[in-house]
Chains A and B, each alone.
Chain A
Amino acid sequence: MFINTISLSNYRGYKKADISFGKSVNFFVGNNGSGKTNLLESIYFLALAKSYKTVDTSTIKTDSEFARITAKITSDKDFSSKIVISKIGKKISINNKEIDKLSDYIGKIKVLAFLPEDMDLIKGAPKNRRYFIDMIIGQFDKNYLIELGNYKNVLKQRNELLKILSENHSKDFTLLDIYTEQLSTSAEIIINLRTRFITKINDELEQMYHYLSANGKKICFKYNPLIERDILIQLKEKYQKDIFFRTTSVGPHRDDYDFLIDDIYAKDFASQGEQRIIILAILLSIANIIIKEKKVKPILLLDDVFSELDYLRQNQLVKYLTTADLQSIITTTNIKDINNSFLNNSKIFSVKNHLIREDKI
Chain B
Amino acid sequence: MTVPKTLEDLIEEFKKLPGVGRKTAERYAMFIINKYTIDEVHQFSEVLEDAKTKLHQCSVCGNLTDEDKCYICQDNFRDLSTILVVENAKDVFSIEKASEYKGLYHVLNGVVSPMDGMGPEDINLESLWKRVINDQVKEIIIATSSTPEGETTALYIKRVLQETDILVSRIGYGVPVGLNLEYADDLTLSKAIENRKKIS
Contact = CB atoms under 8 A, between A and B. Distances in A.
Interface string A220-263: 00000000000000000000000000000000000000000000
A178 B162 CA distance: 14
A174 B160 contact: yes
A150 B147 CA distance: 11
Nearest to B116: A160
Interface string A120-162: 0000000000000000000000000000001001101110110
A182 interface: yes
Contacts of A163: 114
Contacts of B152: 157, 175, 178-179, 182
Interface string B117-137: 001100000000000000000
A164 interface: yes
Given A160-B114, A160-B115, A164-B119, A178 B148 contact: no
A206 interface: no
Contacts of B156: 174-175, 178
Given A174-B160, A178-B156, A178-B159, A156 B148 contact: no
A161 B119 contact: yes
B114 A161 contact: yes
A161 B114 CA distance: 6
A274 interface: no
Contact of A157 (B114, B120, B155, B159): B114
Interface size class of A (residues with CB under 8 A): 10 to 19
A56 B119 CA distance: 38
A204 interface: no
Interface string A175-190: 1011100100000000
Nearest to A172: B120
Nearest to A174: B159
Contacts of A174: 120, 156, 159-160
Interface string B92-133: 000000000000000000001111000110000000000000
Contacts of B114: 157-158, 160-161, 163-164
B119 to A, nearest CB: 6
Contacts, number: 32
Nearest to B147: A153
A161 to B, nearest CB: 4
A88 B155 CA distance: 43
A150 to B, nearest CB: 7
Interface residues of B, number: 12
A207 B117 CA distance: 52
A156 B155 contact: no
A177 B152 CA distance: 11
A182 to B, nearest CB: 7
A160 B149 CA distance: 14
Contacts of A157: 113-115, 152
Contacts of B160: 174
A20 B62 CA distance: 68
B148 A153 contact: yes
Contacts of B115: 156-157, 160
A160 B119 CA distance: 10
Contacts of B120: 174-175
A312 B152 CA distance: 58
Interface in A167-215: 174-175, 177-179, 182
Contacts of A175: 112, 119-120, 152, 156
Contacts of A178: 152, 155-156, 159
A154 B120 CA distance: 16
A157 B150 CA distance: 13
A167 to B, nearest CB: 11
Most interface-central of A160, A163, A175 (chain B CB within 10 A): A175
Contacts of B148: 150, 153-154
Nearest to A179: B152
Nearest to B148: A153
A197 to B, nearest CB: 25
A157 B155 CA distance: 15
Nearest to B152: A178
Contacts of B155: 178
Contact of B159 (A150, A164, A177, A182): A177
A242 to B, nearest CB: 14
Nearest to A149: B148
6 contacts: A160-B114, A161-B114, A164-B114, A174-B160, A177-B159, A182-B152
- A-B pairs, top 3 by smallest CB distance, nearest first, are A160-B114, A161-B114, A160-B115
Interface of B: 112-115, 119-120, 148, 152, 155-156, 159-160
Given A174-B160, A175-B156, A177-B159, 17 more contacts: A153-B148, A156-B115, A157-B114, A158-B114, A160-B114, A160-B115, A163-B114, A164-B119, A174-B159, A175-B119, A175-B120, A175-B152, A178-B152, A178-B155, A178-B156, A178-B159, A182-B152
